[in-house]
Amino acid sequence: MTPYLTAAFYKFVHLPDFEALRKPLLALCEANEVKGIILLATEGINSTIAGPELGVRAVLASLRSDARLADLQHKEAWSSKSPFYRMKVRLKREIVTMGVPEVSPTLMAGVYVKPEDWNALISDPEVVVVDTRNDYEVGIGTFTGAINPDIKNFAQLPAWALANPELNPASGKKPKVAMFCTGGIRCEKSTAFMRAQGYDEVYHLQGGILKYLETVPEEQSLWEGQCFVFDERVSVGHGLVPGHHGLCRACRQPLNDDDLASPLFEAGVSCPKCHAHTLETQKNSARERQRQWVRAKALGQQDPIGQRQAPPKVAPKETPTIP
């Protein structure tokens, strides 16, 4: 079986013509049998794509032929099946939504810290370590001693940061801050935001959790649990080995073994985290989609009824992205 190459990448760069890039980029991906999602905005590009190795590399080469993206870096992972079911190129106001337009990662981002130097930084008692991800991501894994902001989406982080007493001590002296996220993109914005608030010593993990798990040996790691990823793998561990979590198709949250064994879990319909928040009419609609998907799968159709089953979402989630 031919393995699938997954490539995750992002870059904050001024793209005033981003709308015009959409159609040719979509056509390029489809011509190379590449699937996934690409977000385009004035502030840059954010993407995770997967497909045959030659196809993915052709897309990357085409992107880098644009002088503005010549130094675009990406992360790679391999799988026995495609983690995506179709290709989407979306136009957005921001490639990662924070809702603070005056923050510019290209001008104000914090200091990059390499994965091999991260342990020493976050072990410093004077450093406040912040996990910038959503609550359901933090719930399955994080770094030892990191603060969980308990946010539903990234746009809630600025308000949390301004109110948090550990970041705003009574003494008025601003602490050293270390921030991390899945692949680095959210930290580009969060550290830029912190610097805009007058924090002088702000750091973030270069390449994000994924690069740390890829680089740092497990026996030396300060990471606990699994790392949620926004594709069909759901979670990964050290060495980027796929984890054991399932995914609820209704609320898009990761599910552990207990969740999957719960009587409230129904494949494609609901889980213990969302069962009480959807109407029976929504569940019935999801059941019909699930039946169609199972039937099509049995007939060998990879992408039934035009798209991967998508029951009504009961909680807003950020756009699936690894970086």
Catalytic site residue from 29, 181, 187, 271: 181
Q: Quote the strand ranges of the chain, DSSP E.
A: 4-12, 35-41, 44-51, 74-79, 87-91, 111-113, 127-131, 141-143, 176-180, 202-205, 223-225, 227-228, 235-236, 246-247, 254-255
276/322 Cα distance (integer angstroms): 29
For 212-248, give one letter per residue: b (16+ CB within 10 A) or e. Answer: bbbbbeeeebbbeebbbbbbbbbbbbbebebbebbbb
Euclidean distance between CA atoms 119 and 122, whole angstroms: 5
Q: Would you call 35 exposed, middle or buried from its count of C-beta atoms within 10 A (0-12, 13-18, 19+)?
A: buried
Cβ neighbours of 254 (radius 10 Å): 23
Output phi, psi for 69, to 5 deg: -115, 15
Token pair belonging to 118: 């991260």
Using CA atoms, how far residue 164 sits from 102, 113, 170, 201, in Å, is: 21, 24, 11, 17
Query: Residue 5: which of 37, 35, 46 has the closest Cα?
Result: 35
CA dist 165 → 73, 147, 168, 172, 177 (Å): 36, 12, 5, 10, 13
Say whether 29 is catalytic.
no
Is residue 128 a contact partner of residue 167, using CB atoms and an 8 Å limit? Answer: yes
State how far the Cα of 175 lies from the Cα of 203, in Å rounded to an integer.
11
In eight-state DSSP terms, residue 171 is: T
Length of the chain in terms of residues written = 323
Residues known to be catalytic: 181
